[in-house]
């Protein structure tokens, strides 16, 4: 035990501040009692103001989860067995050398995660480029923020989820929230919507009456419930109304943007009545929402307006276009860069923001630089001590990378860090097939996730409260993660593992393992980039816990840069300082309903589970709160198919099948069913989802697909043992053994 520590939650991008306090006197007594080694309390911070959600309150359970991995595992004769670190890493290094010698450096792929600290994400990107020399690195943020990033980069010139502090929302008169269920995914954030709710200005766009949409049910807000996959039509119609009625901020548009003529032409044909036919949203609602936003905007003398997007509209094959339209709307209204107004994307994963800034994305180097930019390559290569010519170019985005695994021209080895891809990736059955075709799968994880159980080598790693580092919140605020207790014996940090592997592979590149030193190197590598961290250090963040990037280093003798809580106040980071209005159009859902699959499936999240559930399905309180996936189905649709509340339902799509119990509720549209994606097994919704991707961002259209439904029998009737996880692990692999 190391004593009380001020840190942040291990889960979502709100990164609620918490304090961890030793619960008992010794690690040994905790282990013996099977209890939690720390108690969690909320800590006052601008984002959560002392609040935590159920996931945060129960997060200490993760630290002593009974199946915590504490020993490397090596597959021999088809079964995972205990191994020493030397044996496991020696095996990995040997196989990597052999495969690279046979098939070249591109045969090794790396898959990272948005939960890794900045230091780990940076080191993983460096390891892939400077040691493995492979272009094939990407991460699960491709499933999360890629469309928001692409849309923001091409319009605003930079991608920072919220370009303003979250608490700025508190003064808004209107907020248009598209495809985000913050009341369940990050409940403490809802307090920042209290002002706009009181003003009657909260507009939630969601095909489902989610807990967030329910915030409007007092009659003072608006729930817009479009046909799944038609959010873009709603935005095009809102822009049509703004321009047709002269509600735009003409002076702002003239001074701070380009592209109005093309945009005007592109939305001319989306008059509200036509949009109503496609989206199902009444024309008068569309007009009312446009006028509400315009009245709240600064040019009308309003108190301020925000347009916010989330995964509901971004996880789409037209996700980039939808985000682009949301930003176009915000620009027409003169919101970005104005006090009390703006556009933002609500990041999902804990370090979804930092994870995409420091090099684990296929086309990026640290500092949010392009790997195709020769100046950036030279700078980063200089920090790493390698020849820029030796750095690979862009690799494959995540979905394409997974689809190529084990194919004749695709990667033969995959290293996975902080990601449970066989649950979280679209068309998961196909992903499982591709993984089975690999010559080598290495997974670093803290628990035997579904992906880890398929691995040839499993390496047990430190988690959250056992490590130092930094995370970057959804607002670009760089936060210190602090260690509250020592990791169990036998567990190592990815920083150590990658440094060890680099050495075993004969690389001359230096890999520091002290997180503060890694951060200093990251900061140097980011200098001059869009996400410039060069004025930050662990020591400075300890003293000033409220710093936002960009925060460049200043010349010797000058005061340190104060960081940048609010972007775009003077100009946009584009060549001419103006934002781009970019014309887009609705192309429709790739996997649309048809007679063989006549119902829309919409996927999402529930409060008591997080992402693939690898962590939260191991927390008893959360399992009691949300034990299994449910198919939400409208009463009339349920009646048509003879499905009763609690009965088993089978969903089939062009990819596969999922089976779960029904929850009959009028919260979903009559043409739509909803499932959360946190579970593995028969009820894993990603058996059904499509791996079709957005052509700009490479983001999969996880949110909407077409399914058929019917009542069925309990698929678990024949299961008489404890399930695959317990069968697959050797005795002694975990902390409880
Ligand atoms: Fe953790 Fe997110 Fe819940 Fe806050 S809202 S306690 S960061 S899961």
**How many CA atoms does the CB half-sphere of 394 hold within 13 Å?**
10
On whether residue 671 sits in a domain, the answer given is yes
Same domain? 199 vs 270: yes
476: left (phi over 0), alpha (psi -120 to 50) or beta: left
Dihedral (Cα; 553, 555, 560, 561), 10-degree rounding: -60
37 lines ligand 1 (CB under 6 A): no
Same domain? 377 vs 460: yes
Task: Decide if 724 contacts 20 (C-beta within 8 A).
Answer: no
Q: What does the pLDDT read at residue 578?
A: 98
Summary mean pLDDT of the chain: 93
Residue pointed to by tokens 């058996």: 687
Express each pLDDT in 481-530 by its tens digit.
999 999 999 999 999 999 999 999 999 999 999 999 999 999 999 999 99
Express each pLDDT in 411-426 by its tens digit.
999 999 989 999 999 9
On whether residue 594 sits in a domain, the answer given is no
Cα distance between residue 347 and residue 303, in whole Å:
25
Express each pLDDT in 280-321 by its tens digit.
999 999 999 999 999 999 999 999 999 999 988 888 889 999
Number of H helices, E strands in the chain: 25, 28
pTM of the predicted protein model: 0.94
End-to-end Cα separation, the chain, in angstroms: 21
Section 328-355 average pLDDT: 93
pLDDT tops 80 at residue 612: yes
Closest atom of ligand 1 to 56 CA is: 6
Nearby residues of 179 by Cβ (< 8 Å), 6 or more positions away: 205, 206, 231, 309, 310, 311, 312, 313, 314, 703
Which range (318-327, 398-407, 621-630, 688-697) has the least confidence? 688-697
Q: Quick one: angle between helices 319-332 and 231-244, nearest 10? A: 20
Section 149-163 average pLDDT: 95
Last residue of a domain, one of 345, 378, 396: 345
Same domain? 192 vs 129: no
Residue pointed to by tokens 């692999």: 733
Last residue of a domain, one of 536, 562, 577: 536
On whether residue 564 sits in a domain, the answer given is no
Same domain? 184 vs 310: yes
Cα distance between residue 441 and residue 605, in whole Å:
28
Same domain? 340 vs 362: no
Q: What does the pLDDT read at residue 716?
A: 80
CA of 12 to the centre of ligand 1 (A): 5
Per the structure, the complete domain to which residue 51 belongs is given by 5-64
579 lines ligand 1 (CB under 6 A): no
Section 139-148 average pLDDT: 85
Last residue of a domain, one of 345, 380, 401: 345
- Confidence bin at 720 (pLDDT 50/70/90): very low
Same domain? 259 vs 363: no
On whether residue 568 sits in a domain, the answer given is no
Task: Decide if 650 contacts 712 (C-beta within 8 A).
Answer: yes
CA of 611 to the centre of ligand 1 (A): 12
CA of 116 to the centre of ligand 1 (A): 16
183 lines ligand 1 (CB under 6 A): no
CA of 83 to the centre of ligand 1 (A): 35
In percent, the amount of the chain with pLDDT more than 70 equals 95
Q: What does the pLDDT read at residue 29?
A: 43
Same domain? 651 vs 705: yes
Cis-peptide into 424, omega within 30 deg: no
16 lines ligand 1 (CB under 6 A): yes
On whether residue 192 sits in a domain, the answer given is yes
566 exposure class (CB count in 10 Å sphere: 0-12, 13-18, 19+) = middle
8 lines ligand 1 (CB under 6 A): no
- Confidence bin at 12 (pLDDT 50/70/90): very high
CA of 9 to the centre of ligand 1 (A): 6
On whether residue 576 sits in a domain, the answer given is no
Closest atom of ligand 1 to 14 CA is: 7
Nearby residues of 222 by Cβ (< 8 Å), 6 or more positions away: 202, 203, 204, 216, 285, 288, 289, 292
Q: Which of 7, 8, 9 to mutate to test the pocket of ligand 1 (most atoms within 8 A of CB)?
A: 9
Closest atom of ligand 1 to 54 CA is: 3
For residue 42, the domain's CATH number is 2.20.25.90
On whether residue 579 sits in a domain, the answer given is no
Question: Who wins on pLDDT, 340 or 4?
Answer: 340
Nearest CA to 512 out of 302, 504, 148, 502 is that of: 502
Q: What does the pLDDT read at residue 733?
A: 63
52 lines ligand 1 (CB under 6 A): yes
Same domain? 55 vs 136: no
Rg (CA), the chain: 25
* Domain count across the chain: 4
Same domain? 374 vs 464: yes
Q: What does the pLDDT read at residue 736?
A: 42
pLDDT tops 90 at residue 163: yes
Which whole-number Å values give the CA distances from 603 to 289, 346, 357, 695, in the listed order? 26, 17, 27, 21
Task: Decide if 226 contacts 234 (C-beta within 8 A).
Answer: yes
pLDDT tops 60 at residue 728: no
Q: What does the pLDDT read at residue 634?
A: 97
Helices (H), 505-537: 515-526
What DSSP designation does 131 have?
Answer: I
pLDDT tops 60 at residue 727: no
Cα distance between residue 675 and residue 605, in whole Å:
8
For residue 360, the domain's CATH number is 3.40.50.740
Section 615-635 average pLDDT: 95
What DSSP designation does 127 have?
Answer: I
Q: Quick one: angle between helices 231-244 and 260-267, nearest 10? A: 110
Nearby residues of 43 by Cβ (< 8 Å), 6 or more positions away: 6, 17, 18, 19, 50
Question: Who wins on pLDDT, 355 or 620?
Answer: 620
Which range (356-365, 371-380, 403-412) has the least confidence? 356-365
Same domain? 514 vs 422: yes
Express each pLDDT in 58-105 by its tens digit.
999 999 899 999 999 999 999 999 999 999 999 999 999 999 999 999
pLDDT tops 50 at residue 266: yes
Which range (252-261, 272-281, 361-370) has the least confidence? 361-370
CA of 308 to the centre of ligand 1 (A): 19
**Residue 432 belongs to what H/E stretch?**
helix 428-436
On whether residue 47 sits in a domain, the answer given is yes
Cα distance between residue 107 and residue 414, in whole Å:
9
In percent, the amount of the chain with pLDDT more than 90 equals 86
For residue 666, the domain's CATH number is 2.40.40.20
Q: What does the pLDDT read at residue 731?
A: 60
Q: What does the pLDDT read at residue 248?
A: 98
Cα distance between residue 162 and residue 153, in whole Å:
13
Which residue's CA is the closest to the ligand 1 atom numbered 4? 16
- Confidence bin at 37 (pLDDT 50/70/90): confident
185 lines ligand 1 (CB under 6 A): no
Same domain? 339 vs 358: no
pLDDT tops 80 at residue 28: no
- Over the range 392-423, which residues count as b (16 or more CB within 10 Å of their CB) and which as e? beebbbbbbbbbbbbeeebbbbbbbbbbbbbb
Helices (H), 224-336: 231-244, 250-256, 260-267, 272-279, 283-296, 311-314, 319-332
Q: What does the pLDDT read at residue 589?
A: 87
55 lines ligand 1 (CB under 6 A): yes
Q: What does the pLDDT read at residue 348?
A: 81
pLDDT tops 70 at residue 111: yes
56 lines ligand 1 (CB under 6 A): yes
Same domain? 365 vs 283: no
pLDDT tops 90 at residue 717: no
Q: Which of 8, 12, 182 to mutate to test the pocket of ligand 1 (most atoms within 8 A of CB)?
A: 12
What DSSP designation does 484 have?
Answer: -
Residue pointed to by tokens 């169990």: 488
């Amino acid at each position: 035990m190391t004593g009380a520590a001020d840190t942040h939650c291990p889960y979502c991008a709100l990164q609620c501040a918490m304090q961890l306090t030793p619960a008992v006197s010794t690690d040994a007594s905790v282990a013996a009692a099977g209890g939690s080694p720390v108690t969690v309390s909320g800590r006052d911070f601008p984002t959560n103001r002392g609040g935590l959600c159920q996931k945060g309150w129960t997060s200490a359970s993760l630290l002593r989860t009974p199946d915590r991995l504490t020993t490397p595992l090596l597959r021999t004769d088809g079964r995972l067995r205990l191994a020493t670190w030397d044996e496991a890493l020696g095996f990995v290094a040997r196989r990597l050398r052999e495969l690279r010698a046979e098939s070249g450096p591109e045969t090794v792929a790396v898959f990272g995660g948005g939960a890794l600290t900045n230091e780990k994400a940076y080191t993983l990107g460096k390891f892939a480029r400077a040691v493995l020399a492979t272009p094939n690195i990407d991460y699960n943020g491709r499933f999360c923020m890629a469309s928001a990033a692409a849309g923001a980069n091409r319009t605003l010139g930079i991608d920072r989820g919220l370009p303003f502090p979250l608490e700025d929302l508190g003064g808004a008169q209107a907020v248009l929230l598209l495809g985000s269920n913050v009341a369940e995914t990050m409940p403490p954030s809802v307090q920042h919507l209290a002002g706009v709710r009181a003003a009657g200005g909260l507009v939630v766009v969601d095909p489902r009456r989610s807990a967030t949409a329910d915030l409007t049910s007092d009659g003072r807000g608006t729930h817009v419930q479009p046909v799944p996959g038609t959010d873009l039509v709603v935005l095009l119609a809102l822009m049509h109304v703004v321009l047709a009625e002269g509600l735009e901020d003409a002076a702002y548009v003239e001074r701070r943007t380009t592209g109005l003529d093309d945009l005007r032409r592109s939305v001319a044909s989306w008059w509200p009545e036509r949009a109503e036919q496609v989206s199902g949203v009444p024309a008068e609602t569309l007009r009312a929402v446009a006028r509400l936003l315009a009245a709240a905007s600064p040019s009308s003398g309003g108190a301020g307006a925000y347009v916010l997007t989330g995964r509901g509209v971004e996880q789409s094959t037209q996700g980039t276009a939808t985000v682009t339209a949301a930003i176009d709307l915000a620009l027409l209204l003169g919101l970005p860069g104005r006090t009390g107004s703006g556009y933002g994307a609500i990041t999902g994963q804990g370090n979804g923001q930092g994870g995409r800034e420091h090099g684990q994305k296929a086309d990026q180097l640290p500092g949010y630089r392009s790997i195709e930019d020769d100046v950036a390559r030279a700078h980063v290569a200089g920090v790493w001590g390698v020849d820029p010519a030796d750095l690979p170019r862009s690799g494959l985005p995540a979905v394409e990378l997974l689809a190529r695994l084990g194919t004749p021209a695709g990667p033969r080895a995959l290293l996975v860090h902080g990601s449970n891809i066989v649950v979280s990736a679209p068309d998961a059955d196909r992903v499982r097939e591709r993984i089975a075709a690999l010559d080598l799968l290495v997974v670093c994880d803290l628990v035997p996730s579904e992906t880890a159980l398929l691995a040839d080598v499993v390496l047990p790693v430190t988690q959250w409260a056992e490590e130092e580092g930094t995370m970057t919140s959804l607002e670009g605020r760089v936060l210190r993660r602090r260690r509250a207790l020592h990791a169990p014996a036998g567990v190592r940090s990815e920083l150590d593992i990658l440094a060890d592997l680099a050495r075993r592979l004969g690389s001359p590149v230096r890999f520091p393992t002290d997180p503060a030193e890694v951060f200093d190197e990251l900061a140097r590598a980011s200098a001059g980039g869009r996400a410039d961290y060069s004025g930050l250090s662990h020591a400075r963040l300890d003293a000033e816990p409220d710093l936002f990037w960009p925060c460049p280093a200043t010349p010797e003798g000058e005061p340190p840069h104060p960081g940048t809580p609010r972007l775009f106040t003077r100009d946009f980071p584009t060549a001419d300082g103006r934002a781009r209005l970019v014309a887009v159009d609705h192309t429709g859902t790739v996997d649309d309903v048809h007679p063989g699959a006549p119902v829309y499936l919409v996927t999402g999240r529930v409060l008591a589970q997080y992402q693939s559930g690898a962590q939260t399905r191991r927390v008893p309180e959360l399992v009691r709160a949300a034990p299994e996936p449910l198919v939400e189905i409208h009463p009339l649709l349920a009646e048509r198919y003879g499905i009763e509340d609690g009965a088993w339902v089978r969903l089939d799509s062009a990819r596969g099948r999922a089976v779960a119990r029904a929850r009959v509720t009028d919260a979903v549209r009559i043409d739509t069913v909803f499932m959360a994606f946190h579970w593995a097994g028969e009820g894993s919704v990603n058996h059904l989802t499509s791996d079709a991707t957005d052509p700009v961002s490479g983001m999969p259209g996880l949110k909407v697909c077409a399914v058929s439904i019917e009542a069925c029998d309990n698929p678990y009737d024949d299961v008489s043992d404890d399930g695959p996880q317990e069968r697959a692990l050797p005795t002694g692999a975990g902390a409880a053994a």
